[in-house]
Amino acid sequence: MAAAQPLIGITTYGRSEDDKYSLPTNYVSAVRRAGGIPVLLPPGESSIEALFDRLDGIVLAGGGDIDPGLYGGQMHPEVYMVDPDRDLLELGLTRQILSKDLPTLAICRGAQMVNVALGGSLHEHLPDVVGDEIAHRLPPREPTPHVVNLVEGTGLAGLLGQLTFDAASWHHQAIHRVGRGLAVAAHAPDGTIEAVELPDHRWLFAVQWHPELTAEVDPLQQALFDELVETCERELEETHSETDNRLAGEQGDEA
Ligand SMILES: [Mn+2]
């Protein structure tokens, strides 16, 4: 039997002023290359548990800023695109992810959301804290590469098999106080936290950089999506074989 293709939910941007939900296509492409079926998750969904129960894995995508009120932060002139509906859906999904152990790749805003859901806080505007020696985005709001250094011995270092690499950076906020149970897995050269992971979770990696931007040409970044989907495939196979065994047992009882 061919391996079942996992359904990978991907959060989208909030409703735009011209009345659209959207998501950069490279998130979808990276999940498809890995063998998953992308399912877009727009804000406004109220049946979060029912939705969640049909997904095999989740990509918490990047986007605008989380409401600082959710982590005891302050409004800052640079805070942009705050969207209460998006915050509500993603906080709900993240709580499900944490309580039900669903494999999850959290990217940029998604990584910040995981941290906030676990009681952590964010730097409202990173250049206020670390200066501008390392650019984490280009004006007005464009991606730029910088070096990322993984922490030796972390799950992420084991997964990627390489401690230092260039990654696409596109953020002006970052993790400040680290949430409960999270382990820091990467830094930028200026000390900014660039990844966290949750060792008690089945598979949860949260990266501040944007692997989807370079995954098509950089196998290291595609590996994050590949590993997510492979983990979900293994779960599906285990569930199927358990079901097969149970059915075989029931048939045996009848015979
Ligand atoms: Mn960065």
Active site residue 146: no
- Span from the CA of 148 to the centroid of ligand 1 (angstroms): 8
- Span from the CA of 163 to the centroid of ligand 1 (angstroms): 16
Q: Is 38 helix (H, G, I), strand (E, B) or coil?
A: strand
Phi, psi of 163 (to 5 degrees): -90, -25
Per the structure, the complete domain to which residue 93 belongs is given by: 7-254
pLDDT at 246: 83
Residue 240 has pLDDT above 90, yes or no: no
What percent of the chain clears pLDDT 70, i.e. is strictly above it? 97
* Interval 62-88 mean pLDDT: 97
pLDDT at 253: 59
Length of the chain: 255
- Span from the CA of 129 to the centroid of ligand 1 (angstroms): 13
Tell whether 27 is covered by a domain.
yes
Q: Which of 108, 172, 230, 233 is catalytic?
A: 108
Tell whether 85 is covered by a domain.
yes
- Span from the CA of 62 to the centroid of ligand 1 (angstroms): 13
| Protein residues within 5 Å, CB atom, of ion ligand 1 | 136, 169
pLDDT at 239: 85
Band (pLDDT 50/70/90 cuts) for residue 137 is very high
Tell whether 142 is covered by a domain.
yes
Rounded to an integer, what distance in angstroms lies between the CA atom of residue 103 and that of residue 202? 6
Which pLDDT tens digit goes with each residue over 153-200? 999 999 999 999 999 999 999 999 999 999 999 999 999 999 999 999
Please give the mean pLDDT across all residues of the chain. Answer: 95
- Residue 204: half-sphere exposure toward Cβ, Cα within 13 Å: 27
* Interval 87-102 mean pLDDT: 97
Look up the pTM and report it.
0.95
* Interval 250-254 mean pLDDT: 64
Band (pLDDT 50/70/90 cuts) for residue 141 is confident
Phi, psi of 10 (to 5 degrees): -130, 120
Tell whether 2 is covered by a domain.
no
Active site residue 108: yes
Phi, psi of 104 (to 5 degrees): -145, 135
Looking at the chain, the number of H-run helices and the number of E-run strands are 8, 11
Rounded to an integer, what distance in angstroms lies between the CA atom of residue 13 and that of residue 19? 12
Which pLDDT tens digit goes with each residue over 99-121? 999 999 999 999 999 999 999 99
Which among 109, 100, 130, 145 has a CA at the least distance from the CA of 23? 109
Q: Which of 90, 194, 197, 212 is catalytic?
A: 212
* Interval 11-38 mean pLDDT: 97
- Span from the CA of 15 to the centroid of ligand 1 (angstroms): 26
Query: How many domains are contained in the chain?
Result: 1
Band (pLDDT 50/70/90 cuts) for residue 251 is confident
Q: Which of 123, 136, 171, 210 is catalytic?
A: 210
- Span from the CA of 113 to the centroid of ligand 1 (angstroms): 16
Tell whether 194 is covered by a domain.
yes
Active site residue 212: yes
pLDDT at 243: 81
CATH of the domain at 87: 3.40.50.880
Tell whether 1 is covered by a domain.
no
Tell whether 23 is covered by a domain.
yes
Q: Are 124 and 171 in contact (CB under 8 A)?
A: no
Mark out the alpha helices in the chain (DSSP H runs). Answer: 25-33, 48-53, 84-100, 109-117, 127-130, 155-160, 211-214, 219-254
